Amino acid sequence: MRCSAAEALGQIGPKAEAAVPALAKALQDEEPGVRWRAAKALGQIGPKAEAAVPALAKALQDEEPGVRWRAAKALGQIGPKAEAAVPALAKALQDKEEKVRQDAAVALGRIGPKAQAAAPALVEALKDKSWPLVA
């Protein structure tokens, strides 16, 4: 049921802004499926999920790669308002999972000039030959 509720809130998108605190709390759920769906929903809410940035930054350290990936993607969907997550995203550029590294880089790009502190980590990421070309 919790998974379905998080999924539905994400489908509502920015109009589900009132659910941001509950979704941020769900990032700590015992079930990985609930955690990654909560991160996905926060991303679908977008910039209006700014209050969840600290929880999403913490989720970048989750034991489950799918949760880390969805957290990075959500931070990118929040965009410049996710500036507080720049240090955590820069660290995620070294994640063992390729998808997490990719979405951390994309998120930093979407945060834009406010992510300038991550420039050295992004330069280092240029050496990662496992990344496919992204259009």
Annotated domain spans of the chain? 2-125
pLDDT at residue 17 in the model: 97
Over residues 104-126, the pLDDT tens digits come to: 999 999 999 999 999 999 999 88
Specify the CATH superfamily of domain 2-125: Leucine-rich Repeat Variant (1.25.10.10)
CB neighbour list of residue 117: distance below 8 Å, 6 or more residues apart: 86, 87, 90
Angle, vertex CA 90, rays to CA 10 and CA 64, nearest 5:
50
Over residues 65-80, the pLDDT tens digits come to: 999 999 999 999 999 9
| Residue of 116, 37, 49, 38 whose CA lies nearest to 76 | 49
Q: Which residues of the chain have pLDDT under 70?
A: 131-135
Residue 46 and residue 37 in contact, taking contact as beta carbons nearer than 8 Å: no
